[in-house]
Chains A and B, each alone.
Chain A
Amino acid sequence: MKKLFRAAAVAAVTALALTACGGGGSSDPSNVSPTGEIKAREISWLLSRPADGAVINIMKKLADEYAKDHPGFELKLITTPDRPSYIQKLETLAAANKLPELFDTDATPFAQQLAKQGKMVDAEKLLKSLDVYDDYRPSALDYQRFDDGSLNMIPFQFELEFVWYNKALLQKAGVAVPKSLDDIPAMCTALRDAGITPIAIDGQDQWPLERYVAYQPFREAGPDFIQKLKKGEAKFSDPAGQKTVEWLAALGKAKCFQDGFSSQGYSDAQNQFTSGQAAMYNIGTWELPSLATDKLNPEVREDIDFFTLPTTAGSVTAANEFVSPSGIGMAVNSKTYDPLVSDFLKFALKKYPAEYAATGALSPTTNVETALPANATPLYKKALEKANDLGGKQAMPWDTQLDPTTNGRLQQELVLLVQGNITPEQFTSTMDSTIAQNAPKFFK
């Protein structure tokens, strides 16, 4: 009967999504060294990364090299760079038990449920068995860990998130780089008075605004706040929660973000900043090729600089602790893990860091040095050097932490709060009741 229910349910999902579904089992996720003959075949990687990005190009190249010694091997890349679409695809395939050999995921509550069901290979054991575990930056691995400390995803990047700013525009408005997060609303008012858009933001994708909600609690109560909030053990009505709600409302009141930001996309925001129309832009080192090379608009090139997340009075986290993600991780499907997948990963993960660092990006490992591109500005090196001075705590993006329903509602309510459509009290009440209603289903 249970099988009948499952089959019927999968068919219903098919009807809703018009996607193909099926069924299957799983093997031991802790068995990282499968024995037997390596039989070359095509394996797939379901991934959410830029189609022409360094990660994909390098892995393609390494797969081709591996295929020379293993005729018949092929790495098929199934790319969906748009993150919301990707997540829907991943969840539908997971529901149908049709996940491919390798798949990308953040350390979300949904991914944790997959791991608990033994559908993902233990990445810590896997990396140790390949003798590469110690090469990784601890913070790159920590970003991929679930709450219980288990590691089921392998990082391929390491990024630092800064607030980029235009020195000339700040000077024009007579404001200095903020010493505290609490200085930003007044700074926005001064910039607006000078006719300058204070912060360019991609509102369409929702995660950039969600970064801002994480900042005050990280400074006020440390990284544990979100761990407690997502389970309903802390609330937005707590002092740290109220601080972020009031701060966001103040950012909105000071008109910090460009008009109509909620319907503007990634490239709109970037263009506003790089064309000198907006004074600040909060983005990670993955944008170094656009912001710190000669590709940057010459009219603003000399004026661009960055500052790291400001602290606050009484901050429990240090200035060198901020958002430093290692990108979306790659999980290995335990059901399809065999000597071939194991051998390919061994081959690829050992060669990957050097290839990646050669592209000018920060490797998730410490055993290679990033090469500066020939067209880099001095800012490029300055940004990379920040990776050598990181503190022990990192601010986690909340979209990877909250249950999916709460996350969706938070993204919606944040826009309303910042636009002044709802009061801080309404926001607090809605979000606390949303968490109370949805968190128990994911964090039993």
Chain B
Amino acid sequence: MLPNRSRLSVLVFLLPPLLLYCVAVLFPIVQSMFLSFFSWNGISDMEFVGLANYVRMLTADDIFWRSFFNALGYLAICLVLQLGGALLVASLLTSMRRGRELIKTLYLLPAVISTVAIAFLFVRIYSIEPVGLLNQLLHWIGLGALERPWLSDINTVLTAVSAPEGWRFTGLYMLIIYAALLSVPQELEEAARLDGASRWQLFTKIRFPHIMPVWITTTIMATTYGLRGFDIPYLMTNGGPGQSSELLTTYMYKTAFSSTDFGYASTIAVFIVVECLVAVGLILFLLKRKADA
């Protein structure tokens, strides 16, 4: 328990960031909720429509639902690549004796490259005419039958736009998980080894439970980042072909700034906020329950 004066100073120092948070995060959310009850194209008079935007979004908008399921697919791919990749690389790093710093730096490199550069880079990698790196590689290894325009094929485009996002942040989560793995007590691992535990058992019974709090944090971070994914899909395909790579975020942006339907775009924005809160709640619930089991 802090003495009174310390508690007061903590509160005083917490106040400015709290105010900033309210202005930068809570206020726009409340404003978007307010605007979601109106029909407004930016230049005409605002028309109060009650819940009509919500009814339209949930019952009569095929693109909204398509974008929602695409966003879930995008999230799943990003999570597998980011968290799965990060856990794998971090675990392998703990077994390495030399070159750890080099590997860490190489994996972290994509996180500091501009999004626009990454998008353009991957457009080139996926291209078929002129032939890009991926199709060229497939040709060289005798899998020419798999060559395709990855960003124009409605069956591959969602995976193709998700992969750069996953690739980009694997290094960041790898660093966090690697730091957590280093904190696993060596005595515990030694004792388990002496008891005859396999590497898999060592990982599932000792290491992973120990890093569970960090794993929950990284999962929440990766999920919220994935749900608000926007820039790379927008730059690479603009949601296309058709709505094959349309995400809720790109759809919201287009509804606001291409269709000039600010009221309806705010409704989608409110849904994204709710979706993020539900996702975080679910992660906490499921992982805590698993940890308690």
Contacts and interface: CB of A to CB of B under 8 A. Distances in A.
Interface of A: 2, 5-6, 8-9, 11-17, 84, 87-88, 91-92, 94-95, 110, 113-114, 117, 119, 197, 203-204, 206, 258-264, 268, 272, 404-405, 408, 412-413, 415-416, 419, 421-422, 438, 441
Interface of B is mostly: loop
Nearest to B262: A13
Given A9-B38, A11-B31, A95-B43, A263 B242 contact: no
A13 B41 CA distance: 11
Contacts of A421: 154, 241-242
Interface string B141-160: 00000000111101000000
Given A84-B258, A260-B128, A263-B149, A16 B242 contact: no
Contacts of A408: 254, 258-259
A94 B43 contact: yes
- For chain B, the bracket of interface size reads 35 or more
B154 A260 contact: no
Count chain A CB atoms within 10 A of each CB in B126, B130, B252 and give the residue with the most: B130
A16 B258 CA distance: 13
B68 interface: no
B189 interface: no
A202 B35 CA distance: 37
Contacts, number: 130
A17 B230 CA distance: 13
B236 interface: yes
A259 B238 CA distance: 18
Given A9-B35, A12-B262, A413-B242, 19 more contacts: A5-B38, A5-B46, A16-B32, A88-B258, A92-B257, A94-B42, A95-B260, A197-B129, A259-B152, A404-B258, A404-B260, A405-B258, A408-B259, A415-B240, A415-B242, A416-B154, A416-B242, A419-B152, A421-B241
Interface in B229-280: 236-243, 252, 254, 256-262, 265-266, 269
Nearest to A6: B46
A87 B31 CA distance: 24
Given A9-B38, A272-B129, A415-B242, A262 B260 contact: no
B55 to A, nearest CB: 14
Contacts of A13: 42, 256, 262
Contact of A263 (B28, B151, B257): B151
B95 interface: no
B127 interface: yes
Contacts of A114: 43
Nearest to B255: A405
B129 A264 contact: yes
A264 B127 contact: yes
A8 B269 CA distance: 16
Contacts of A197: 129
A264 B41 CA distance: 31
Contacts of B128: 259-260
11 contacts: A8-B31, A12-B28, A13-B256, A13-B262, A88-B258, A91-B42, A119-B43, A260-B129, A261-B152, A262-B240, A408-B254
Nearest to B45: A2
B32 A12 contact: yes
B123 interface: yes
B243 to A, nearest CB: 6
